[in-house]
Structures are given as structure tokens and as C-alpha cells.
Chains A and B, each alone.
Chain A
Amino acid sequence: AQSVTQLDSQVPVFEEAPVELRCNYSSSVSVYLFWYVQYPNQGLQLLLKYLSGSTLVKSINGFEAEFNKSQTSFHLRKPSVHISDTAEYFCAVSATDNNDMRFGAGTRLTVKP
């Protein structure tokens, strides 16, 4: 079965600074990769996903993630964060041949003024 490790449980950063949230996965088969965001008292929302093709995927609000197969990573980056980006971010993986989606433990991003 596949698994996900989010390397940082908390990431504090100042507004307008760049940020990287790290995600590594483990799987013996091909995978799809996802980043979800959870704002306080809300459910999860899909931020971006990698299915195939270009290894660099982008969201509409400035986040991007790069699939690195050799390093089994899918790190999330943003060049300049806003206060409104404060939330919990979850990396998730599912194998291409089953429906089993596994989530990482989450990274709490706190953007300070």
C-alpha cells in the first residue's frame, strides 16, 4: 500500500515570504498525487493534483507542486504567501490501480504579518 509523509507539522512564515511544504510518498506502483487545504472549521478543498504529463502543476491561487519520481516527492511551494494562506495542508496519494487514497498528517502553515 502507498503512504505519505509530510516532513513538517508546522511551518511559520512571514507574509510575502516564500514557502515550501514538503511531502514524500512511498508506493510500489504508479501514483496520483494531491494537495488539499483545510481552513478552520471547514472540510478539505483540492488545491492541485498530479495525474500525468507535466511534472509541475499549479493552482489558481499561486501554489505549485512538482512531482519528482526519483525522489518520490511532491513538495508544495508558493513564492509569496498571504495572511489568507494560513491553513492546514494535506498531501495525499492514491495508486493508479485502486481507490485507496492515503493522506499525510498535515502541515499547519501560519502566515504572520
Chain B
Amino acid sequence: KAGVTQTPRYLIKTRGQQVTLSCSPISGHRSVSWYQQTPGQGLQFLFEYFSETQRNKGNFPGRFSGRQFSNSRSEMNVSTLELGDSALYLCASSPTLGTGGREQYFGPGTRLTVT
């Protein structure tokens, strides 16, 4: 099975612009979660989608949004970029939404640099 793929891998944007990141989960996985990873804050949960619905949301401003399509692919959008948005954005997929010690499978991430 192919793993979680994220595109693009690297991105450079200017303050004030917007950006869209894409994540394709492992085939058959219906849950997609997004995380922001920075040296100062570590891994922070952004949101989780399951069956095209946002099921869980972290503590990020409304500039961060996402969606999931019927094929489980997910996109994350950040509007009005700020310098502090520079980070590695990780996507993780999982077969289910429920509990049970589910493992999340991570993609390689998209490195976003805001200048």
C-alpha cells in the first residue's frame, strides 16, 4: 500500500498570501488529521476530518481551515499568512475515527516558509 502523500513538499510564500496544502491518505483510511510542527511549539493538532466532516479542532485561528473530499483526500488552507506560520505541516491518516488506540500514519510533511 502506498503511504500518506503530501504535496507540495516545500513551499515559500510571502506574508499576506494564502496557501493550500494537499494530503492523500492511505487507501481505505477515512480519517485525516493535520498537525503543525515548529521548533518552539512542537507538534500541535490543527483539525481532524472523517467522512468529509470536521470532527475535531485544535486551538488555531480561523485563518486555518480544511476540507475533505469524498475520496478522503484532504486540503488545508491558510489565509493571510504570517511569519509565524512557517512550519512543517504534517498530515496523518487513520482507518477509523473511533477509539481503540488507533495508530496514525504520517506523511513526510510540507515545509512552509513565509517571508
Contact = CB atoms under 8 A, between A and B. Distances in A.
Interface string B97-108: 111111111111
A36 B109 CA distance: 15
Given A34-B103, A100-B45, 9 more contacts: A43-B4, A43-B92, A44-B90, A46-B104, A51-B100, A95-B99, A99-B98, A99-B102, A106-B42
A102 B45 CA distance: 8
Interface residues of B, number: 23
A63 to B, nearest CB: 16
A97 B101 contact: no
B15 interface: no
Nearest to B48: A99
A28 interface: no
A105 B37 CA distance: 10
Interface in B52-80: 55-56
Contacts of B92: 43-44
Given A43-B90, A44-B90, A106-B42, A51 B101 contact: yes
A25 to B, nearest CB: 14
A46 B94 CA distance: 12
A41 interface: yes
Nearest to B104: A101
Query: Which 8 pairs of residues, A with B, have the shortest CB-CB distance?
Result: A43-B106, A51-B101, A32-B101, A103-B43, A44-B106, A105-B42, A43-B108, A43-B107
A87 to B, nearest CB: 13
B97 A94 contact: no
B108 A42 contact: yes
Interface string A78-104: 000000000000100011111111111
A45 interface: yes
